[in-house]
Amino acid sequence: MTLPKYEQLMLPLLRRTAAIDGEANIAMVLPDLAREFELTEEDVQQRLPSGGQTYFANRCHWAKFYLSRAGLLEAARRGYFVVTDEGRKILTDNPAAVRDRKSLMQIPQFAKWWQEAPESKADNATAGPVAEASDVDTTTPDERIDTAAKLLEGVLEADLIARIRTVPPSKFEQIVVDLLIAMGFGGGDPEMGQRLGRTGDGGIDGVIQEDVLGLDAVYVQAKRYKDGNNVGASTIRESVGSLVGNRATKGVFVAASKFTTDTREFAKNVQHRIVLIDGEELTRLLVRHGVAVREDRRVVIKKIDEDCFSGE
């Protein structure tokens, strides 16, 4: 039996997840999906060239990814997910909307995400883990590698912000402090950063000493707001008040959501130096500086060393 493409797995995965009483993970639904597509054990055990994952599990993860971007699945906790109210409504009213990736464009949340997705900006880019020959005839191998790398990074950032919004506030605050240290604040010394986040700290969630004597410090506020709950100017005004109360001149405000235009304008004009980092920038910085992520695999591409053949 030919392995199903990830698009063929989307609707069955959504149905199987909805049938589970409670949270689900990929391992729980794989056996049922294998039976539904009449796959043999040999089919299921075929592994990617990297050897780290089977083709079948990999395609199920991609199916889950697109369902999540459409708002039909959402993370419950590490490795687990549930069907959203919108997902159940789709299953009842319009399951055809989950026929393939293009049909997901009927869903506003997916259409909005797709406008900024790396693959939507690349000509002839493949949308799944395994390319069809017709998808790549007009692109070079180098172009396909670059496209795939951008796509995988975009997937990672999307998953990362979803996970961040599920962690306890204290964990989010610590991740933000760790990120600023990794970016070079406090000389990159973890001992120079401290998570506060206690009652009576005036809204300050963390502090990073810029020198060993504590003469200069950067104060941190980290708010794990949900997507759509944008930070208004009044919140930043309160943040400025917290800085004044701590006799500080510099602050970093990090939110897992976005800042309104008025908020950014206020932050630019206020006397105190305040840097705003929204959820999109936060995930880019986390990936770039290796915080809350780890290396999955390393692929080395070699080319001819022309210097070896030059001269006598």
**Interval 198-221: pLDDT, tens:** 544 457 888 888 877 767 888 898
Question: Where is average pLDDT lowest: 58-67, 122-131, 237-246?
Answer: 122-131
Coil vs helix vs strand at 227: coil
Report the C-alpha gap between 107 and 94 in whole angstroms.
11
Q: Indicate whether 275 pLDDT > 50.
A: yes
Report the C-alpha gap between 206 and 196 in whole angstroms.
5
Question: Where is average pLDDT lowest: 65-79, 128-142, 189-203, 278-292?
Answer: 128-142
Q: What's at 18, amino acid-wise? A: A
Give me the residue label for tokens 């670059």: 146
Best mean pLDDT range from 39-53, 118-132, 137-151, 170-184: 170-184
H or E segment to which residue 18 belongs: helix 6-19
Coil vs helix vs strand at 169: helix
Percent of the chain with pLDDT over 70: 88
| Residue 128: partners with Cβ closer than 8 Å, 6 or more residues away | 5, 6, 7, 59, 62
Provide the CATH number for the domain around residue 256.
Answer: 3.40.1350.10
| 176 in the same domain as 143 | no
In a domain, 216, yes or no: yes
DSSP 54: B
Question: Looking at the 3D structure of the chain, how many domains does it have?
Answer: 2
Beta-bridge partners for 21: none
In a domain, 307, yes or no: no
More confident residue, 284 or 50: 284
| Residue 118: partners with Cβ closer than 8 Å, 6 or more residues away | 125, 147, 150, 151, 153, 154
| 183 in the same domain as 149 | no
| 134 in the same domain as 65 | yes
| 182 in the same domain as 137 | no
| 184 in the same domain as 228 | yes
In a domain, 303, yes or no: no
Which value, in Å, is the radius of gyration of the alpha carbons in the chain?
23
Average pLDDT rounded to a whole number, residues 270-278: 86
Report the C-alpha gap between 304 and 101 in whole angstroms.
39
Residue 156: both structure tokens together: 């990672």
**Per-residue model confidence as pLDDT tens digits over 96-115:** 999 998 899 999 999 988 88
In a domain, 62, yes or no: yes
| 124 in the same domain as 64 | yes
- Beta-carbon count within 10 A of 280 CB: 14
In a domain, 250, yes or no: yes
| 187 in the same domain as 95 | no
pLDDT of residue 9: 95
Report the C-alpha gap between 97 and 24 in whole angstroms.
22
Residue range of the domain that includes 211? 169-289
| 188 in the same domain as 110 | no
| 155 in the same domain as 180 | no
H or E segment to which residue 133 belongs: helix 133-136
| 184 in the same domain as 152 | no
Q: Rounded to an integer, what is the distance from CA 191 to the centroid of its chain? A: 28
Q: What's at 33, amino acid-wise? A: L
Beta-bridge partners for 17: none
| 141 in the same domain as 87 | yes
